[in-house]
Structure 1
Amino acid sequence: MLSSPSGKIRVLIVDDSSFMRMAIRGVLSKDPSIEVVGTAVDGVEGVEKALALKPDLITMDVEMPRMDGIAALRQIMAKAPTKVIMVSTLTNEGAKATFEALDAGAIDYIPKNVTDSAQAQTIFRDELLRKVKDSVRSRFGGAAPIARPAMAAPVRRVSTPLRNKKINYVGIGASTGGPVALQEVLSRIPVNFPYGIVVGIHMPKAFTGPYAERLNAKCSLSIREAVDGDVVKPGLVLIAPGGMHTTLVRQGTNLVVKVVPTSAYPQYVYIPSVDLILSTMAEVTNGSMLGVILTGMGNDGFKGMQLLKSKGGVTIAQDEATSTIYGMPKACVDGGVADEVLPLGQIGYEIAKFAG
C-alpha cells in the first residue's frame, strides 16, 4: 500500500556520497510514478528520516560514516519496517555486506556501477527504476523469508508421488529474493544427497563467488561457484557465475559445465539465464532431473521448465505467499509446467526426499 495520496512510490535516499545522492535522485525524479521525499547522508540521519517521513522505499548505501547501512537497516526494521534496496559496491566486501543486509530484511540490492561510461549509466538507471517499481509488488513482512514457518499444504500436487520418478540431477533458478530463499532450500538438503545440483541466480560477476562461499559455510552440502569444465557430482552444488551464461553438456558419462560469454546467446536478457541452464540440462539428461523455480521477477526459467516437463522431468515452483516477487514461479504455474507448487519452507525437504 502506497502512502502517497498521488499513488506515487515515495523514496528516501540514504548515501554519504553527494554524487550518488544526486545520481539516484536524478534518475528517480524523472519518473512520474516516483517521488523522492528526502535524502540522508549517513545511517543515523537515515533512521531519523525513515521514522519521520515514512517512505514506501529506502535506497540504502552500505558503507557510511557514523552508522553503516546494515546497522541502519536493522534499526529501521526494528522501529518502522520499510522496504529497503541496498546500493552495493561491486567488490568482494560489498557482496558480503549485501548478503548480510538481505538476511537482515532488505528486499533487494543494486550494484553501484555509475561511471563515465554511457552504457554503465544506462544500465544503472534501468536497473534502479525496475527494482524500485518491482518493490511495490514485492512481499514484505519485516522479516526475511527464511524466518517464515512452513505452510501446511501445497497449492498443487500431482496424483503420483513425485519422488517415484527417476532423477539424476537438480537444476534451480531464482532472482529477486533468491539469495535468502536459496539458502533456506539448500540448508534442508543433507550432505549425502546423491545428485548434483546446478543453480542459476541473477547476480553480477563480483557477487556469485562470495555468495557461494556464504552458502558453503551455512549448509551441509559442498557449494562453490562453477568454472568452465566442472563436472556435476553428487552432493555438490555449483552456482553459475555472474556476468556470463552457463550451459551443460555431456562428456562421456559426465554432465559438464560450459561457461560462455553473453554475446553467444543474445536472446537471453537475464544473466546468467535460468532458461539456458535448465534447457541444456533437460536436453543432455533427457529429462531425468528435477527443476525448481524460486522467487523472482519476470519469467526466466519458464521455457526451461517447459522443455523439462515435455521430457518427463519433475518440476517444482515456489508458491505466491512465500515469494518475495511472484514472477518466475507464477509463469511456471500459469503455464501449467509446475508439478508441485510449494511454500519455501517445504521445498528443500521435498528435494531431499528424492534421495530415497
Structure 2
Amino acid sequence: MTTTLPDTATDLFAHALRYENRADPYPYYTRMLRQPVTCMDDGTWLVSGHREISQLLHDPRISADRLNPDAPKPAARSLLVLDPPRHDQLRRLVTQEFIPRIMGMRDHLDTLVARLLDAHRSDRPGQWDVVADLAYPLPVTVICELLGVPREDEAVFGSLARRLTRGLDPIDTQTEDELRELQQAREELVQYLEGLIARRRAAPGDDLLSGLMFGTDPAGGMGPVDLRVTLGLLLIAGHETTVNLIANGTLALLRHPDALARLRTDPDLATPLVEEVLRYDPPVQMSGRSTLADIDIAGTTIPRGARVRLMLAAGNRDPRRFPDPDRFVPDRPDNTHLGFGGGLHYCIGATLARAEAQIALTALARRLESPRLLADPPPYRENAILRGPEQLPVSFERLGPGERTA
C-alpha cells in the first residue's frame, strides 16, 4: 500500500510533527525540499534547504528571538533566544569557563562508558536498554560533574528536563494539560536552581557553576537571573541532545551492520561516523527564528517580523548538498551538516557531545556481540524537535570485557 503525502507546506509540517510519524518524519522533509523556502498558512516561513538554512543562520537580520522584534522582552532570557550584544556577552562568560573544563576529558569519558557497560557485562545471551543504561546516564553524569550538581539530584532535574523539553515543540501540538504542566515544571526548576546556587554561593568549588558565579572575567560574574537561566540551559541541554545522539547513533549502527562491523575493527571510523549520525538522524530536528528586516532568499522575500522555522533535519537530507542523502555513509566526505546549528548560536557543547558519542558508540561496537534490535522502530519520545528513542531495547549474545577506546 502506497502512502500519499500531502503537498502544501502547512500539511507537510503538521504531518512531520504528528507522533505517529515520529519514527520516520523524513519523507515529509524530502517533500518540503521541493520548495526550500515557503510560507505556511499561519504566516510562518518554512525553510528546508541546506543552502538557505546556512545563509539564514549567518545572517545578522535574523533573530534567535521567537517573539515579535517590537514586543517587550521578559527579564529571564536564555542564550538560545538572545541576540547580540547580550548573547555575545553571556556566551563569552560560558565559553571561557566551559571549554577549559572539557579539554582532556576523553580518558575520563572512556572510564565512565566502561563502568556503565561493565554493570551489564555478561558471557551469556541477554538484553538491555541502550537509552536507560548508557545513552542517558553518561551525559547526565558528565554534566553533573561539570556543573557541580549532586548526582543524587538527577531524579529531580531529570524529571524536570523531560517535562520542560516538551515545551520546545510548537505550542499547537501541546494540550492544555501539557501547557499547565510546563508552567509548573518551570516554577519547580526555578526553585531547584535557586537552592543549588545558594548552596554553591555558600561553599564555592572548582566547578562550572562556581566559575560562572565568581569568574575572573573583567565584566565580572553573572548576575543572579542570568546565572539561574544559564545554569538551567546547561543542565538540560547539556544532556538531552546527547542522549538522542548516542541513541540515534546506536540505532543507525544496528540497522547498518556493515558500519557496525567496520567500527568494531577501526575505532578511527568513530569520528566521521558521528558526523554522519548528526547529518542522517540529528538529535535536534528544527529551530525557530524571526526576521529583523526583509530578507530576499531563494527567489522570494521573507518580511520583517516573520516567524521562521529552520528545518535542520531536512537540510541535512538536501540532495543539492549531499549525494544520495537518504543513505547512511559512515565515512561521508565533506559532511557540512547542520546537526549543531550554525552561526552565532552554534552549539557550545558540540566538542563534548562528539566525544561522548564517539567513545560510547565505539565501546558498544567492540563489546556487544551479535546485537539485535528488539523493536524496530523503537518507541520514540513525545518530542518532535528533540527527537530520539524513548527506549532502545537490544539483545546480545555476549557483552564482553572492556578495552580502552580513547
Select the structure that is richer in helix: 2
Q: TM-score, normalised by structure 2?
A: 0.26
Q: TM-score, normalised by structure 1?
A: 0.29
Select the structure that is richer in strand: 1
Larger radius of gyration: 2
Where relative contact order (Cα < 8 A, 6+ residues apart) is larger, the structure is 2
